[in-house]
Structure 1
Amino acid sequence: MSLQKLENYSNKAVVQEEVLILTELLEDITKNMLAPETFAKIMELKELSTQEDYQGLNQLVTSLTNDEMAYISRYFSILPLLINISEDVDLAYEINHQNNIDQDYLGKLSATIKMVAEKDNAVEILEHLNVVPVLTAHPTQVQRKSMLDLTNHIHTLLRKYRDVKLGLINKEKWHNDLRRYIEIIMQTDMIREKKLKVTNEITNVMEYYNSSFLKAVPHLTAEYKRLAKKHGLELKHPKPITMGMWIGGDRDGNPFVTADTLKQSAMTQCEVIMNYYDEKIYQLYREFSLSTSIVNVSKQVREMARQSKDNSIYREKSFTVVPCLIFNQKSKQQKPI
């Protein structure tokens, strides 16, 4: 049986509902922003497009003033952006749904590893498989971080739409929040008019680590090993994904890429991962609250707790003290290059 693409499972009815809400909000916001005659031309352009009246479209577009063109272009740029967000939300929802009901689909990790496991050299294949996504400056050169943040807010709200329909989330507040972000987008420059410095590009692109990669890559790697073990394949040091970075180090004819930008790129990446480690160590400290009066503690953990020099008589949590030791040792070893 051939596997289907996830796109084939699209919840078209829900997407259509969301698109209708987004379109109505955008139209109402645009109507309040523009002169009545300019807004009327937007509606006329939509109608001519629906009718596939290309001659009428050409005549109307040709008659537009520069100011009208700017506002109308903004409307027809933001509308497909909002539709794309809705479709992305539906795809993310469908991925979670299909995974939770253990449904196979084209490209699913578990189905792929199951297929590879049938080969004689399965361990070799999985051990040496390595995909390297390389971050470049191109998306961040033109798209502003403020726009990325706004689209993320809208994405988050649309993820909650199904709960809104069930009455689990206040519909009026949800609708007002969605309207507010669309209204801000309509009044925000979508792209940059000035080229960023290399140092700015480095800082901006690292946001992708905080919002996605730092959580997704370790999770995928752990799942990769777990699925392989499920099929009797013991992997020692698999690296299915290794992140790559061109910004600050790839000259490609760019005279502003120097040894200094390469160093800054490496240091910025180092800071991002170390900050992530700090957050996780603190999370362990807050959550790993097992008491020594209830559970047995190994000699190794007791020794680490002793080294922490936390001799408070109120401490019954060797497991809590250990993260403090790890954090302190990491801080001592973390030296500037």
Structure 2
Amino acid sequence: MIGFANASTKTGPLYSALFLFVASGFAGASRAIFVLSLVLLASCAPEKTTWKLSGPTMGTAYHITVTDVPPGVSKAELQSVIDAELAAVNQEMSTYIPDSELMRFNAAPVGEGVEISAHLADVIARSLEIYRHSDGAFDVTVGPLVNLWGFGPLPEPEKIPAEDEIASLVQAIGSDALDLNGLVLTKSRAVTIDLSAIAKGHGVDRVADLLEARGIANYLVEVGGELRTAGVNPQGAVWRVGIERPSAGQVVQKPIQVSGKGIATSGDYRNYYERDGKRYAHTIDPRTGRPVEHKLASVTVIAETCAAADGYATALNVMGADAALKLAEEQQLAVFLLVKTDSGFEERVSSAFSPYLERQGR
């Protein structure tokens, strides 16, 4: 399988808990672990008839809430087509299915064009766009470095990698080696692609599109921690979620209202190890070949698609707070940052994120 790793109460001091601490990479061979810790917040209005669907997928699970389903839509049929759609994402983008489209490309010789599906081409194109916008902070070829540092399928290393090993892999990887021409993908160096930082968000988008094609206008789709919402929740209000505070407990740092958007969070505060008194987080900067050392604890991105939110959350988490906010303003990204300080966490937001905060209490 691809290894990527709703309840309702009333408002006031209570939150309906949806804390999702999920590996967003392909099971065990993840490019990195991305944490989206969200809490659904409900209003106190009477609930409408609601369906909740869930199941295993991509090495994790999906959870979907739909309300006001049009006549003629069968719950069993809907679950079946959702499962089939997510299985198709697996077959296209998994690094754990030997004959997946992605693995077929990874096994192809350098310089040989490989025809891929429109879905895979769309994800590759988005990945290359984020790679360029982030000056290489987002790189779908970074897998060998992730593995070298012990955040892939292999155990943590007894010793940190040697300088020459790091330098050799930094020279070998790079999305600049990828060329996408329509539906033909070619590599100019012997790189391999791992889409763990974006494919889960793409899966969310695929399910959302499927729901909309069936006339379902009110939904929340979550796959392994990445979300997309539309319309209203079962209480007839805008979907509300809470961004989790990076801490040992499950505490809401900031509630937001979001409908018609994708949401993703990336953070490094749960997956790390220590060697000789130094902390090494799972987030690897492809440009240096090393785990990041800045104080940015988590990044939440709201975007038109969940794939975009997923990919940009990763890129910004690699870049650090100042560079992340600069890119967010340049690209008009809705971004919420939590930065570690001596006394706790500092909130920093981009201009495009402010409206989501200003809507609280309305």
Q: Which has the larger radius of gyration?
A: 1
- Greater fraction of residues in helix: 1
Query: Could you say which structure has the higher strand fraction?
Result: 2
Q: TM-score, normalised by structure 1?
A: 0.28
